Homo-oligomer: A and B are copies of this chain.
Amino acid sequence: MEIIKKYTDLVSEAIENIKWSDQKLYDPMKYMLNLGGKKIRPALTLLGAEMAGARAEDAISQAVAVELFHNFSLIHDDIMDRADLRRGNETVHKKWDEPTGILSGDGLMVMAYEHLINNAFESTGAFIRIFSKMALDVCEGQMKDMDFEYKTPTQDEYIDMIRQKTAVLLGSALQIGFLIGKDDEESASRLYQCGVNWGIAFQIKDDYLDIYGDERIGKTVGGDILSNKKTILYLTAYENADDKDREILEKLFANHDRSQGKIDTVKAIYDKYNVGEACLSMANRYYKKGNNLFGELVIPREARKTMLKLAEMLLLREY
């Protein structure tokens, strides 16, 4: 993304400069980090620092920590979700094996903590607390996500799950970056809340794009439907559908049919109940909530513009 290229370049360079031991443990970590990814989360940390008047360069180690943690969670999630592909390539546990995936994920989390405290000085304790709270949220969120396979959640329960699993990392990334520049916990917490709301909007849009988006590299349109993932689209349809359609949805999401016909049938029900629009408007509400909170913060002009533009792009993206 052009608007954050300045930041993602810094992060990519820092990741390339990580001194790796030649132990086998580190090969899957390097592999995973080399698969790319948009690096939005670490960019948020650098932008967070600028929003507090520091230089992006001052927060690089913390930005790397955020990216390492994100990759830890992807490796472990892929094992739990039995996913074969990540960013169009074999997942770690497919390319190696599950034990290697578990261990290299563990190692990435440890390395994230190491990077988090580099040059953090008196903020070290605060960073560990924020980061650990975030990490437990992510674990709790993933646990809920897995449970939803067996138990259909309400929309509210679902939003709470994506808040924990996805959104808090965006919030914490901003918060930690901000604290590098300014010892102002109240503003940093507010910025965290902005990130959480934008993050929820981002994830709702992600759910939406699974079926209404352009075909994207490494992802199948309708993939969530084929894997019976009860996204916000499904839950919105489920809560609005009549008994007959609800029964069809339940049946389809209980079998392992992986045909285009299944996608078409489900999409027809989504369309019938205007599920796509409802979800976009829900995403928009969270997006605006983030913007409103953000409006109350005093932030240098250039960084503010970039942040608002990025939040908008996360919502408006079509892939």
Q: Chain A: residues with CB nearer than 8 A to chain B? A: 21, 23-25, 76, 79-80, 98-100, 102-107, 109-111, 113-114, 116-117, 120, 124-125, 128-129, 132, 135-136, 139-140, 142-143, 146-147
Q: How far is the CA of A25 from the CA of B139 in the complex (A)?
A: 7
In the bound complex, CA of A110 to CA of B114 (Å) = 13
Quickly give the copy total for this chain: 2
Q: Is the CB of A80 within 8 A of B107?
A: no
Do A79 and B106 have beta carbons less than 8 Å apart?
Answer: no
Contact A117 B125 (CB under 8 A): yes
Structural contact, B111 and A132, CB atoms closer than 8 A: yes
Q: Are A25 and B99 in contact (CB under 8 A)?
A: no
**Nearest B-chain residue to A72, judged by Cβ:** B106
Enumerate chain B residues within 8 angstroms of A24, measured Cβ to Cβ: 143, 147
A136–B107 Cα distance when bound, in Å, is: 6
Q: Is A102 a contact partner of B114 (Cβ separation < 8 A)?
A: no
User: Could you show 23 A-B contacts with beta carbons less than 8 Å apart?
Assistant: A23-B143, A24-B143, A24-B147, A25-B143, A79-B99, A80-B98, A80-B102, A80-B103, A98-B98, A99-B146, A100-B143, A102-B102, A105-B106, A107-B136, A110-B139, A113-B113, A113-B132, A114-B129, A116-B128, A117-B124, A117-B125, A117-B128, A124-B124
Chain B residue at minimum C-beta to C-beta distance from A128: B117
Q: How far is the CA of A80 from the CA of B124 in the complex (A)?
A: 33
* A73 nearest in chain B by CB position: B106
Question: Min CB distance, A147 to chain B, in Å?
Answer: 7
- When the two chains form the complex, which single residue of B79, B120, B129 contacts A102, counting CB atoms closer than 8 Å? B79
Instruction: Sort A-B residue pairs by CB-CB distance and give the 10 closest, nearest first.
Output: A80-B99, A110-B135, A107-B139, A114-B132, A25-B143, A124-B124, A124-B125, A23-B140, A117-B128, A110-B132
**Which residues does chain B contribute within 8 Å of A114, judged by CB atoms?**
128-129, 132
Tell me whether chain A's interface is mostly helix, strand or loop, or mixed.
helix
Q: Which residues of B contact A129 (CB under 8 A)?
A: 114, 117
Q: What's the minimum C-beta distance from A166 to chain B, rounded to whole angstroms?
A: 16
**List of B residues within 8 angstroms of A109 by Cβ:** 106, 109-110
Q: Complex: how many Å from CA A134 to CA B103?
A: 14
Q: Cα distance A24–B139 when bound, in Å? A: 10
Determine how close the nearest CB of chain B comes to the CB of A157; give it in whole angstroms. 13
CA gap between A304 and B198 in the complex, in Å: 56
Chain B residue nearest to A133 in the complex (CB): B114
Of the candidates A25, A104, A114, A139, the one having the most CB atoms from chain B within 10 angstroms of its own CB is A139
A125-B116 Cα distance, complex, nearest whole Å: 10
Query: How far is A300 from B129 in the complex, measured between Cα atoms in Å?
Result: 34
Which of B103, B106, B128 has a CB less than 8 Å from the CB of A113?
A: B128
Inter-chain contact A103/B25, CB cutoff 8 Å: no
Instruction: Tell me whether B99 and A140 are in contact (CB under 8 A).
Output: no
Chain B residues whose C-beta falls within 8 Å of the C-beta of A140 in the assembled complex: 21, 23, 25, 107
